Amino acid sequence: MPNKKLILNAAGYVESATQIASPNFDARPKDCLIDLIVIHNISLPPNKYGGAGIVQLFTNKLDPDEHPYYAEIFTRKVSSHFLIRRDGELVQFVSCLKRAWHAGVSNWQGRERCNDFSVGIELEGSDFEVFEPVQYKVLKLLIAALKKNYPIQHIVGHSDIAPGRKTDPGPYFEWDKT
């Protein structure tokens, strides 16, 4: 996928992405412009990559007995529009036309509830390790597709819209590669 152009269709789906439906979304406010991209990082269990934990969390199927950390988070109803795995696989959980539940309590330039007007992109990773070059390649293609379809004005980290509460995408994220 890293060398292909991504096509975002009228229904808000990237046609070449792996589609895994999350129930954790709802309608955006009427006439709300999608003008913000929020970049996150996630790994489940923490600092471990490649497992099913992220998908299980976003689809409400996380087993609290599988890992001690899962017992703390398995009841959370969260999602994101996209996940970019360490190997560059692009997974989509929610149509861009819908409000994924990725930002939580948030504010960008005086606008509350960033889920209303943003697209959430999770990078499989953590605050403690560099991201893979292929993740940046897919991220750049995804951002280009989003900009072609929506009036994107800003690309920010979760830490920018929830300072003090969130730290992702973390100190190893290379903003110049977006």
List, in order of start, the domains of the chain with CATH numbers. Answer: 22-40+79-172 (3.40.80.10)
The answer to whether the bond into 45 is cis (omega within 30° of 0) is: yes
In this structure, what is the dihedral angle of CA atoms 116, 121, 127, 128, given to the nearest 10 degrees? 170
Mean pLDDT, residues 17-24 taken together: 98
- Fill in the DSSP letter of residue 14: B
DSSP label of 130: P
Residue-wise pLDDT tens digits, 124-158: 999 999 999 999 999 999 999 999 999 999 999 99
Furthest CA-CA distance within the chain: 43
Mean pLDDT (the chain) is 97
| pTM greater than the 0.95 cutoff | yes
Judged by DSSP in three states, 97 sits in coil
What stretch of H or E contains 58? helix 53-58
- Is residue 83 within 8 Å of residue 122, measured between CB atoms? yes
Catalytic residue chosen out of the listed positions 66, 72, 89, 122: 122
Specify whether 122 is catalytic. Answer: yes
pLDDT at 60: 98
Q: How far is CA 135 from the centre of its chain?
A: 13
pLDDT at 101 over 70: yes
Is the pLDDT confidence value at 1 over 80?
no
Question: Residue 2: pLDDT above 80?
Answer: no
Confidence band of 159 (pLDDT split at 50, 70, 90): very high
Contacts of 107 (CB under 8 A, 6+ apart): 114, 161, 162
- What average pLDDT does the segment 67-80 reach? 97
> What pLDDT is recorded for position 3?
59
What are the start-end ranges of the H helices in the chain? 53-58, 68-73, 133-149, 158-161
Return d(Cα 176, Cα 169) in angstroms, integer. 13
Is 142:6 a contact under the CB 8 Å cutoff? yes
Identify the CA nearest to 158 among candidates 119, 132, 110, 116.
119
